Amino acid sequence: MSDDRLIVALDVPNVVQGLDLAAKLGDAVSFYKIGLGMLTGGGFALANELKHEQGKRVFLDMKLFDIGATIEAAVRGIAQHDLDFLTVHGDPQVVRAAAEGKRGKDLKILAVTVLTSLDRADLDANLIKPGDVHEITLERAARALEAGADGVIASPQEAAMIRALPQAAGRLIVTPGVRPVGAATGDQKRIATPAQAIADGANHIVVGRPIWQAADPAAAARAIVAELAGV
């Protein structure tokens, strides 16, 4: 059985490999994330195939950032595909435009707070204001939710703090940077196990390489689902 709290990142180069991986995973997975790296490899075609032909849920991870009119138009176009989640940067003006663009559709707008691959040194290099990474993430999450986001993307280490925000009541928290026990951390710097992320307030976890690099991807997915069954 699948558990849609688990979202598998299809971080493969093209639609052919994406469909192949989805076939290997079969009914072990019901929710997939398609990111920017797949966009030029047929990402929209893959999203539509998974959603409308295979009955899967789809998270389009585009992390959109632009002026309001452009965001609104882009989100309006994407919303016509009847997908489930879409990411935009968590700046309030971007979130407001995205919320307007998806008006009347069930598409959930998820705001990116601070990328899970970043630490304080990275924020310094990017000229982000001084302060603790967790506190900045919390502040960005609150502002994005106030601006109309349906939820936020955040590291598992911030999930509990965000869940405690008054603005987070009834909103989604989706956590990348999730690694099963024993898995390599890769380029993620702020990580947690699947069960810990859910226990700390996440609605969904995103897992990529620990599943698609496994010798048996379906078995790897089922192991995570089994872990989540206890949460």
User: Among all residues, which ones are annotated catalytic?
Assistant: 63
Residue 148 in 3-state DSSP? coil
For 107-124, b where at least 16 C-beta lie within 10 A, e where not — what string?
Answer: bbbbbbbbbbebeeeebe
How many angstroms separate the CA atoms of 25 and 1, rounded?
Answer: 11
Residue 230 carries which DSSP code? T
How many angstroms separate the CA atoms of 80 and 61, rounded?
Answer: 16
Alpha helices in 6-108 (DSSP H): 15-25, 36-39, 43-48, 68-79, 92-101
First to last CA, the chain: 16
- Structure-block tokens of residue 110: 């998820």
How many angstroms separate the CA atoms of 173 and 160, rounded?
Answer: 10
- Structure-block tokens of residue 184: 């390599």
The identity of residue 49, as a single letter, is: E
The four Cα atoms 90, 91, 92, 95 give a dihedral, to 10 degrees, of -50
How many angstroms separate the CA atoms of 161 and 24, rounded?
Answer: 36
